[in-house]
């Protein structure tokens, strides 16, 4: 069985609600947070897969088309690849926030579906996010949870940003 890192996108990989960008609705709105390419590159050395799992209610709300979202993700993957970092797949929920779908975090369908597709052992994997819905989705799927921010009582670990979390995740995965 393989091990994976599941990363939320907005607030983990890229800026959102910042001085430069409110929401990412086109590729040129995507700004990586400090240390993200290096963090993903380092995780690539220890994990079989790095996935992005993200709620993108802006599609359901009409702020962007699904084809635009795919362009953003293609751009993100290509820009990371230029820096030696690999994202293996992206799963997203395009539905409105209160649509009641099965794929919107805190439900775990995005994570579980990727794990089945790639033969991933969820108990040996990690969900990294910046909201409690990310941590809850990971826990429901069976992963460990790493929260990026100040505190989250459900998380296995808390760090200010992805680059700060990497060494802990790698060490914890060896246990």
pLDDT at 1: 86
**Alpha-carbon distances, residue 45 vs 38, 39, 101 (angstroms):** 11, 10, 35
**Alpha-carbon distances, residue 113 vs 2, 43, 146 (angstroms):** 14, 21, 20
List residues with catalytic annotation: 8, 10
pLDDT at 75: 98
Q: Is 145 helix (H, G, I), strand (E, B) or coil?
A: strand
Segment 72-131, tens digit of pLDDT: 999 999 999 999 999 999 999 999 999 999 999 999 999 999 999 999 999 999 999 999
Question: Is this model's pTM higher than 0.85 or not?
Answer: yes
Q: Average pLDDT, whole number, for the chain?
A: 97
Segment 24-63, tens digit of pLDDT: 999 999 999 999 999 999 999 999 999 999 999 999 999 9
The number of residues in the chain equals 175
């Amino acid at each position: 069985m393989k091990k994976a890192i599941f990363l939320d996108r907005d607030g983990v990989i890229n800026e959102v609600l910042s001085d430069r960008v409110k929401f990412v609705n086109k590729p040129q709105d995507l700004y990586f947070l400090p240390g993200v390419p290096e963090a993903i590159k380092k995780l690539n050395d220890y994990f079989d897969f790095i996935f992005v799992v993200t709620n993108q209610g802006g599609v359901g709300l009409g702020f962007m088309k699904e084809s635009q979202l795919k362009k953003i993700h293609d751009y993100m993957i290509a820009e990371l690849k230029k820096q030696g970092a690999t994202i293996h797949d992206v799963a997203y929920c395009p539905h409105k926030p209160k649509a009641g779908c099965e794929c919107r975090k805190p439900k775990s369908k995005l994570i579980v579906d990727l794990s089945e597709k790639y033969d991933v052992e969820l108990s040996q994997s990690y969900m990294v996010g910046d909201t409690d819905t990310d941590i809850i989705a990971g826990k429901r799927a069976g992963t460990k949870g790493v929260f990026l921010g100040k505190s989250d009582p459900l998380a296995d670990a808390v760090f200010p940003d992805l680059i700060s979390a990497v060494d802990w995740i790698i060490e914890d995965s060896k246990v």
